[in-house]
Amino acid sequence: MCGEMKQTKKMSMLEAWVNIGFGYIINVAVQFTVYPFFGIDIPISTNLWIGLIFTVVSLLRTYGIRRWFNNNGKINNNGK
């Protein structure tokens, strides 16, 4: 689309944080539900830390991919 504005770095980071925040909540809930089925018995604090580590990795991945697409991943108007 012609004349489309790029997403700013600040908005990319905000979008990534909101996405990852919801992802963290869902991830931890899934961990609490699924781990017992596989015999994984860890303290709640460890479960939260594992979720946090994956959240940070996910945040960096999401932000990086968003910025790459914003700068390099465009498709021209001819669909090429």
Q: Summarize pLDDT for 2-31 with one digit per residue, the tens.
A: 556 677 888 877 887 888 789 889 988 998
Phi, psi torsion values for 6, nearest 5 degrees: -75, 150
Q: Average pLDDT of 25-46?
A: 91
pLDDT at 3: 56
Q: What is the pTM of this model?
A: 0.60
Predicted confidence at residue 33, as pLDDT, reads 92
Q: What is the mean pLDDT of the chain?
A: 81
For residue 67, give the nearest of 4, 8, 17, 21 by alpha carbon.
Answer: 8
List, in sequence order, the alpha helices (H) in the chain.
9-34, 44-72
